[in-house]
């Protein structure tokens, strides 16, 4: 049987950026909060070494913006929020994901190819 780790890594790599966009959709969040939230999900297991470069990349492509804000406990924090382009990318992903997931569920769930 093939090792499942490379498959999990590939699936995570393809969807993690959209999980980040979804987490900041409703409210701005700071980096460590995103690391904790994503780290709580067993199938995502995202570390600081994964999330911070991803946040920088999402800022460079214009899907996230950031601002510094004072923290009630400690140094200022950089908060990340969704830009209009990020919102459009997330909506596009959602529509594609539903169709993709339904196809995979249909093919893998039955073990038959129609």
- Show contacts of 76-80: CB within 8 Å, 24+ apart: 77/30, 77/31, 77/32, 78/30, 78/31, 79/28, 79/29, 79/30, 80/24, 80/28, 80/29, 80/30, 80/31, 80/34, 80/55
pLDDT by residue (tens digit) across 13-72? Answer: 778 999 999 999 999 999 999 999 998 887 777 788 889 999 999 999 999 999 999 888
pLDDT of residue 59: 97
Sequence-ordered list of residues with C-beta below 8 angstroms from that of 114, at least 6 positions apart, any chain: 106, 107
**Residue 113 or 26, more confident:** 26
- Please give the model's pTM, rounded to 2 decimal places: 0.82
Topology adopted by domain 5-110: Arc Repressor Mutant, subunit A (1.10.10)
In 3D, which of 24, 35, 39, 17 has the Cα closest to residue 80? 24
């Amino acid at each position: 049987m093939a090792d499942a780790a490379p498959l999990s890594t590939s699936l995570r790599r393809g969807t993690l950026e959209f999980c980040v966009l979804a987490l900041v959709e409703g409210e701005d969040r700071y980096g460590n909060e995103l690391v904790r939230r994503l780290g709580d999900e067993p199938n995502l297991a995202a570390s600081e070494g994964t999330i911070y470069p991803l946040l920088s990349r999402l800022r460079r492509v214009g899907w996230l913006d950031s601002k510094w804000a004072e923290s009630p406990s400690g140094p200022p924090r950089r908060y990340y929020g969704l830009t209009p382009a990020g919102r459009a990318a997330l909506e596009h992903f959602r529509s594609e994901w539903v169709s993709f997931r339904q196809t995979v569920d249909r093919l893998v769930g039955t073990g038959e190819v129609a």
